[in-house]
Structure 1
Amino acid sequence: MLLTIRTTHQPATDLGYLLGKNPARAQTFELGFGNAHVFYPEADERACTAALLLDVDPVGLVRGRGDAEGALDQYVNDRPYVASSFLSVALSRVLRSALAGTCRERPELTETPIPLEARIAVLPARGGQALLRRLFEPLGYTVAADAHPLDPARPEWGDSRYFTVTLSAVTRLRDLLTHLYVLVPVLDGAKHYYVGDAEVEKLLRHGEGWLAAHPEREMIAARYLKHRRSLVRDAIARLVQPEAPEEDADESRDTEEAALEERVSLNQQRMATVLVTLRATGAAKVLDLGCGEGRLLRMLIDEPAFAEVVGMDVSHRALEIAADRLRLDRLPPRRRERIRLIHGSLMYRDRRLEGFDAAAVVEVVEHMDPPRLAAFERVLWQHARPASIVLTTPNAEYNVRWPTLPAGRFRHGDHRFEWTRAQFQDWAGGVGERWGYSVRFAPVGPEDAEVGAPTQMAVFTRSDARPPVATAEG
């Protein structure tokens, strides 16, 4: 497997500084699957080419496994010859500093876009030249791809799925290496190691700054994570973060909203009302979806009747704050066993949410873009299907009662909408009808005769579930 990187930047030998490898000597690095050789076919002021040659040992890869089934395939395959996840491993180990964008001798070079040409001798591409262009052209590369025939002696057999690919761009070396690190395994589709949660972290780390905006991000994530649905769902949710505002802005806006509601202690009333309503359902296993910093979670774990409590949020930072607020690391073992915090999005089906008696969705829905509400419905009412769902949202009509809130403004800078009582009841009634839930509504906070209460609540009860034994009004 051969990768070459060439530049005509002046002086071209700066490439040696960027790669952290001396052009004057060849070097060999031992890896778990073979050896990696770095050398320079050309190195002068006008042009410099660095080569990374992988000598993959297919026998060494499977020696000692004792696998009888498919034994021949383990030894006779394309792994020693094609660019694959082995190349990504070599980049991360042999060219670690270049991939990270560090250069001790010439640090200014790492941020300098220079003319670069990367050539991969044999790159598998399930999807052909069209896929190669869809992956690399949005990143600013000019793509040249020459297909390898299945058999040069039998041209009628057509081309194989292997290409010699040349990528050209004026870019930073760190960006080129990062794109190769992620996209080569995507094209190959056959990672040689176990894919778990750590791979999500790698994808997000190496995809920072470009993957979220890539038009093929879903396909890239799916292939990189070997189509493991839960991992793909997690990666996409963290890339897009549809419900999470920017952290610093979110903190200031939360402060504004809290100050706005402080006069009537609305947040405490809201949490207390939700707690009473959940208690009335007789639930033992409870979800707090969009749990934020854990205000409701702290109340839930104080209730012995709730044997299992799970808080989920799309924001890692919010979950960290919740863990601190709940003092999870200092809880007694039995109490600690009752609560879990999980990262996830309400836009994607998540089997971790199934099997619960009740779910709370407190001041969350208004942070979603209206086109995403249909996906939210399917996730919670169609797939998770808890017996009871308690959902609160602001009452837009009440906003006129706050003189500090300018006309036409929402209570929170990240709100995508705020419903009137009629709008909320129309939406919630439709959801219940579509998914087999009855719905009742209740005010939360001081009720104004003209505009209602500041918060409105809907309690959904699945038609085949035991109805609540009490109501929470008042």
Structure 2
Amino acid sequence: MFLTISTTGSPDRPATDLGFLLHKHPDKAQSFSTTCGRAHVFYPEADADRCTVALLLEVDTVALVKRGRGKGRGGAPDAALAQYVNDRPYAASSLLSVALGNVFSSALRGVCAARPAIPGLPRPLRVEVPALPARGGAALVHRLFEPLGWTVTADPVPLDTTFPEWGDSRYVRLVLESDTLTLAEALRHLYVLLPVLDDAKHYWVSPDDVDKLLRVGEGWLPGHPEHRLITSRYLTRRWSLTRQALERLELVRLAESDDSDVQEIDNAVAEETETEEKPTPLAVQRRDAVLAALREAGAARVLDLGCGQGQLVQALLRDPAYTEIVGLDVSMRALTIASRRLKLDRMGERQAARVKLLQGSLAYTDRRLKGYDAAVLSEVIEHVDLPRLPALEYAVFGAARPRTVVVTTPNVEYNVRWESLPAGHVRHGDHRFEWTRDEFRAWAAKVAERHGYTVEFRPVGPDDPEVGPPTQMAVFHTGTTGTGSTRTTGTTRAGTKKEAKAA
């Protein structure tokens, strides 16, 4: 396997800076042992005007087989002959990706102790890979690299030049050029996308690869238009790992976005407006509605169940009326982002005593949640499989039993007003269901009756006379008797107010 990286210089930035960035001296040829063979690093040319580094990987296929690494996608054994007769010694794949990570590990991290200022500087780069397997063809190569700022040349390699009628192989000769990227960014792109284009790995993919993908993909993968395909292929289509990685990528994307510019994960569909004034995002309207309900209830100790990135927790902390705030989420990654958002490590002692972040699942009862004034389930229930919803109901309303429970969820009837949302689609791929107003009210009434609460309904967002509001909210209060009752505030389909009887 062979790969070269070239750069050109200027009077104040010589091309030989490449040697400092890679921690490999241009006057030396070096050899390194890897898990799949030996990697050689040398410089075919190195002067102030132009410098090229070459990585040559000699793959020991027999040793791979003996060590049990002669495996195909997902770790399935190849046919006996294919273990020894294959393209692995010649075509760029996960073997070359691993060698890049081992040999150029400091450059991949953007670290240069000798000249700490230069890793962050963009420079002219040219990357050449003479034989790259591309399952999906040259078009996929362009789709993967061009959004990252590369000019791409992907020339298909003929199966046999003697017989042109046989057509092209699945290999391309790849040339990437850019003037806007740093060397660290270029290496991270190659590290991830080489095995993605091959659509296979030489080792069994484990949960650690999710962390590795997010670490190397930081700054570019969450916003890539093909991030789902990249994630799926990099994790060899192991659905559980792919889903976990995609959820974490979405959290990262939202954490990096300002609340005023984007809506939350479950309402990320932009609404058209003909006015020049920028409308208040639905996420902000929903949060304000929840805060209003908590203030009306006189709550001081509040649970944010399914707190995600901690936006509501952050809003609650701004009000000294809330003396104890607990955010609970099943995802440790989400809690880590929430902790960074809240700056818990820099928070004063008195302020820090008011807030706790807990990891836990609402599918189980939790003693830590008992005794609070109020609990919030904001855009949570629609992410729960319907057969598991009764377990959540009991954990919150039966076991924890706060005096007030605020629940918000999308109104599926309003989806027809989102012009960019295809017909029949839910607002987010992780939604297990989205309810009509009647369905939500029937569910809420049964929960109230079963657990001794009263419930009232409020619209969140513009209340359309035909399809209702984009978000529907139910506010539960503990009743004085064992039978719950319901009431509705806001307009109904007929545009009048009405009392809804418990189902």
User: Is 1:148–1:161's contact at 8 Å kept on the other side of the alignment?
Assistant: yes
Instruction: Confirm or deny that 1:172 pairs with 2:182.
Output: yes
1:61 partner SS: helix
Given the alignment, which residue of 194, 215, 236 partners 2:225? 215
Is it true that 1:357 corresponds to 2:357 in the alignment? no
**Alpha-carbon displacement from aligned partner over 1:40-98 (angstroms, at most 9, x marks no partner):** 01111111100011111100001154999722111111111111111221111110111
The within-5 A match list for 1:157-168 is: 157-168=166-177
Alignment of 1:30 onto 2:33: yes
Structure 2 distance, partners of 1:472, 1:313, is 38
Distance 1:112 1:374 in 2: 43
Give the C-alpha shift of residue 313 in structure 1.
8.8
CA contact (8 A) 1:7 1:49 kept: yes
The answer to whether the 8 A contact 1:365-1:393 is kept is no
Structure 2 CA distance, aligned partners of 1:106 and 1:154?
Answer: 52
Which amino acid in the other structure matches residue 243 of structure 2?
Answer: R
Aligned CA distance change for structure 1 residues 75 and 260 (closer, same or farther; 3 Å) = same
Q: Deviations over 1:423-466 (max 9, x none)?
A: 669988xxxxxxxxxxxx9653599xxx9669x9xxxxxxxxxx
Q: How do 1:145-160 and structure 2 match up within 5 A?
A: 145-160=154-169
SS at match of 2:193: helix
Structure 1 position 315 matched with structure 2 position 339: no
Task: Check if 1:380 corresponds to 2:432.
Answer: yes
Q: CA deviation at 1:190?
A: 1.0
Equivalence map 1:457-468=2 (5 Å)? none
Aligned-partner Cα distance in 1 for 2:407–2:142 = 43
Contact 1:23–1:40 (Cα < 8 Å) also in 2: yes
Using the alignment, how far apart are the partners of 2:289 and 2:79 within structure 1?
Answer: 62
| Equivalent residue number for residue 236 of structure 1 | 246
State how far apart, in whole Å, the 1-side matches of 2:42 and 2:102 are. Answer: 16
Once the two structures are TM-superposed, the CA of residue 420 in structure 1 deviates from its matched residue by: 8.2
Letter in 1 for 2:136: G
2:91 alignment counterpart: 82
What SS does the aligned partner of 1:62 have? helix
Shift of 1:357: 3.4
List alignment gaps of at least 5 residues for structure 2: 71-76, 261-283, 314-327, 345-354, 370-378, 394-404, 435-441, 449-454, 480-486, 493-500
1:29–1:98 Cα change, 3 Å: same
Secondary structure at 1:199's aligned position in 2?
A: helix
Note if 1:8 corresponds to 2:11: no
The secondary structure found in structure 1 opposite 2:42 is: strand
1:207 Cα offset (Å): 1.6
**Aligned-pair identity (%):** 41
| Secondary structure at 2:223 match in 1 | coil
Cα offset, 1:8, TM superposition: 1.0
Distance in 2 (CA, whole Å) between partners of 1:244 and 1:424 is 27
1:236 shift after superposition: 2.3
Structure-1 residue corresponding to 2:296: 264
Higher relative contact order (CA 8 A, sep 6+): 1
3-state SS of the aligned residue for 2:24? Answer: coil
Tell me the TM-score normalized by structure 2: 0.62
Q: Would you say the 8 A contact 2:127–2:177 is kept in 1? A: yes
Distance change in 2, residues 1:213/1:426 (3 Å): closer
Residue 132 of structure 1: aligned partner? 141
C-alpha offsets along residues 217-243 of structure 1, whole Å, 9 cap, x if unaligned?
A: 221112111122222222222223499
Matched, 1:41 2:41: no
Q: Which residue of 2 aligns with 1:280?
A: none
| Letter aligned with residue 51 of structure 2 | C
Q: Matches of 1:422 and 1:266 in 2, distance apart?
A: 34
Q: Which runs of 5+ in 1 are unaligned?
A: 275-287, 296-308, 339-344, 397-409, 411-416, 429-440, 457-470
Q: Residue type of the partner of 1:152?
A: T
1:142 counterpart letter in structure 2: T
The match for 1:401 is none
SS across alignment from 1:203? helix
Superposition deviation, residue 196 in structure 1: 2.6
Query: Aligned partner of 2:409: which letter?
Result: V
* Equivalent pair of 2:331/2:359 in contact (CA under 8 Å): no
CA distance in 2, matches of 1:173, 1:425: 49
Q: 1:199 deviation in Å?
A: 1.7
Provide the secondary structure at the position in 1 that maps to 2:135: coil
Kept in 2: contact 1:395–1:421 (CA 8 A)? no
Q: 1:131-177, CA deviations, whole angstroms, 9 ceiling, x for partnerless residues?
A: 11111112121112222211222221111111111101112111111
Q: Could you tell me which residue of structure 2 aligns to residue 431 of structure 1?
A: none
Distance 1:395 1:237 in 2: 30
Q: Distance in 1 between matches of 2:230 and 2:381?
A: 19
The aligned counterpart of 2:264 is none
Aligned pairs (5 A) from 1:325-404: 325=356, 357-359=390-392, 363-365=407-409, 374-375=426-427, 379-381=431-433, 395-396=458-459
Q: Distance in 2 between matches of 1:427 and 1:123?
A: 49
- Matched with 1:224 is 234
Aligned to 1:298: none
Aligned length: 384
In structure 2, how many angstroms separate the alpha carbons of the residues matched to 1:377 and 1:267? 34
The answer for the alignment partner of 1:406 in structure 2 is: none
How many Å apart are 1:2 and its aligned residue?
0.4
Shift of 1:216: 1.5
Change (3 A) 1:260 1:162: same
The change in CA–CA distance for 1:235 and 1:442 in structure 2 (over 3 A counts) is closer
* Structure in which a larger fraction of residues adopt helix: 1
